[in-house]
Structure 1
């Protein structure tokens, strides 16, 4: 259960800010190498199939390990889960560094190290995400679940996007060794921050719940989240300046418009204290995202592209926290780690499919096909959400500091 909405006092706001910073650092670290992986693999002499394998294996590991990460968190505690995830990320970063140092002239050995790093990062992502979300929910209490999901979700999405951009800029400006060096430093900073966060001890959960039972409770909101994530993943790839320069006149403003729309929705919802608007807000959000994708698909000028990018970010922004609140309401507090872990895995599944799929579409087809897929996916999410909200989905939103 999530409890009645509560306003944040000063101490709670500072504590939430620490969890948000920790989540941002964790996902910023995950994003740093993403923009440089494809050139590295191609430089070793491998083809597109290996590129897709190296990029996609992390998502597969993340999805496969999410339920286990949630179980570990519910039993061992959020703080240990966070530190375990950041430790795995640090080891993965050292493997990245070894690959860039090229200690041997053996492409097969180097790509094996790279795959090992990606596997470790997949496990790290599961542990960091579940640990930070569960830790914030336990520490701040059920009445502040909306604030936790809204801000933690924003830190997760923006950390990943900005990490990708920063990684490409760092490599361009400082050389190939700078990215793995940064990937080593960031989790160490996050570990120092996590070590200073006191998470209240909660009796370890003795509850057993089968993964199929968890999936049964979260499958519908999870599928809505996955379908809503597909167009955003494709849009982020297409609007990323290094790619978009080939297709659009104003790549940086369009990318900025998407991020601005995302932030505007979060800022607006933060002020809606105590309103039970889950169903209507979910449908409105998905409708805005659908309009944005249609505009991006049909845009014949920079102005429509900017509006479409803004609407896409605006619409997608609140989907994760709205459905996350609905998921938490279906589980007791001692199973929240497994609940939020399983729910967020649908987002990873969508990203793991959408990004390689968008790369293939770019190679074989006009970029408009990526937005065409986005239109279909968002329309499917809206139809599923309409069916889901007929059960009178009401979510009390609490926000603001007080």
Structure 2
């Protein structure tokens, strides 16, 4: 009995320690979410530019996020996660200030748009440097055996941050305008910057020779591609569910998003131990299969409530895909490349979410909205096939003593 109590206490301490670091991820994604739903409206209605221009400006963030992942990973491996997180929080602070200038210049649309373009690029820098850095920080503060929990909690923080930030941004925008959102982002991120400055700097102790980022990226890419294909289900639901409901003349599209997000978070909280117990590959095989079932239910649903159930099943299925494949991916490189491995692996979720809009939008425009879920389901099935091949392939682990 005492042993069980000690184990529970230790587990709670580990969880609290990890939460203390993934709080940076939550701050980052609340900052992103605050402007996510209101900037397109501001660009289209207040500045008078087309919806296409608004979409391009919002998507610019992914460019610098993609580019900065490599630098962040190398920084984590060489100097530890603290400098990377500090740079990220500083970038979010600057982006809030720049957005305020864009709002103040709203009577000169071209200049305001130019400032917003810079703002989005700086936001991408912030996301790129924060990214997976808190995961590494949390692992250094606990141990490598808690990698799956750190990745899972970080995912909850990111999706939870968007879930909190997006509706809050709409409420604040309707009441006070974009200027108030800008100030909130700047203050929130600056608070994160001060918090990071006061946290203890930690660094990996491995003396193994470091591999180049591209070499690391090549090793983790099959896992990242499979994970990215799984992410297309989430991207399709989050981006197109409203249009899908409108096409079917249904009400309550937001319930699908809520069901997906709720079951996603619940799955990570309830089943995070499955990765350590059954292994990342077996867990992924089950999870992607469940996601396929969810997308199938959503596609064939004759009524809105069944679509909500399908979205919930899909969210539950996707919940552990990122951490499960992430744990397996980082096993392929020496411990001295942990930061680069996580950063390289995370690139694929950026690409997945960035490509979902144009890719699924093309399917919708060419074949109709009724085909978006069978298409995304087919992509998840391909991802499942890649995982099956990886599972059957001979194990290629780094030399003994250099694993996590």
- What TM-score results when the alignment is normalised by the length of structure 1? 0.88
Q: Contact conserved, 1:327 with 1:339, CA < 8 A, in 2?
A: yes
- Name the residue aligned to 1:298: 300
Alignment partner of 1:167 is 2:169 = yes
User: Which residue of the other structure, out of 74, 77, 90, is the alignment partner of 1:74?
Assistant: 77
- Name the residue aligned to 2:385: 383
Deviation at 1:367, TM superposition (A): 3.5
- CA–CA distance in structure 1, aligned partners of residues 351 and 375 of structure 2: 16
Q: Contact conserved, 2:245 with 2:251, CA < 8 A, in 1?
A: no
User: Which residue of the other structure, out of 340, 354, 357, is the alignment partner of 2:356?
Assistant: 354
- Name the residue aligned to 1:85: 88
- Name the residue aligned to 2:100: 97
Distance 1:167 1:371, change over 3 A: farther
Q: Contact conserved, 1:218 with 1:327, CA < 8 A, in 2?
A: yes
- CA–CA distance in structure 1, aligned partners of residues 13 and 291 of structure 2: 35
Q: Contact conserved, 2:98 with 2:115, CA < 8 A, in 1?
A: yes
- Name the residue aligned to 1:145: 147
Deviation at 1:66, TM superposition (A): 1.0
Q: Contact conserved, 1:241 with 1:255, CA < 8 A, in 2?
A: no
- CA–CA distance in structure 2, aligned partners of residues 354 and 201 of structure 1: 36
Deviations 1:144-194 (A, max 9, x none): 111111111221222224322322232223333232222222212322332
- CA–CA distance in structure 2, aligned partners of residues 29 and 327 of structure 1: 29
- What TM-score results when the alignment is normalised by the length of structure 2? 0.87
Distance 1:207 1:6, change over 3 A: farther
Q: What are the residue-to-residue correspondences of 1:114-153 with 2, within 5 Å?
A: 114-153=116-155
The unaligned stretches of length 5 or more in structure 2 are: 1-6, 398-404
What is the RMSD of the two structures over their aligned residues, measured on CA atoms? 2.9
- CA–CA distance in structure 1, aligned partners of residues 8 and 385 of structure 2: 32
Deviations 1:290-310 (A, max 9, x none): 111122222220221111111
- CA–CA distance in structure 2, aligned partners of residues 14 and 190 of structure 1: 17
- Name the residue aligned to 2:291: 289
Distance 1:91 1:330, change over 3 A: same
Residue range with higher mean Cα deviation, 145-154 or 344-353: 145-154
Secondary structure in structure 2 of the residue aligned to 1:186: helix
Deviations 1:326-382 (A, max 9, x none): 111112222111110000010001111113545666778744333233112212111
Q: Contact conserved, 1:139 with 1:199, CA < 8 A, in 2?
A: no
The unaligned stretches of length 5 or more in structure 1 are: 396-402
- Name the residue aligned to 1:31: 33
Residue range with higher mean Cα deviation, 262-271 or 94-103: 262-271
Residue range with higher mean Cα deviation, 40-49 or 114-123: 40-49
- Name the residue aligned to 1:61: 64
- CA–CA distance in structure 2, aligned partners of residues 85 and 99 of structure 1: 21
Alignment partner of 1:277 is 2:276 = no
- Name the residue aligned to 1:232: 234
Residue range with higher mean Cα deviation, 348-357 or 282-291: 348-357
- Name the residue aligned to 2:401: none
User: What is the aligned length?
Assistant: 390
Distance 1:201 1:374, change over 3 A: closer
Larger relative CO (CA 8 A, sep 6+): 1 or 2?
Answer: 1
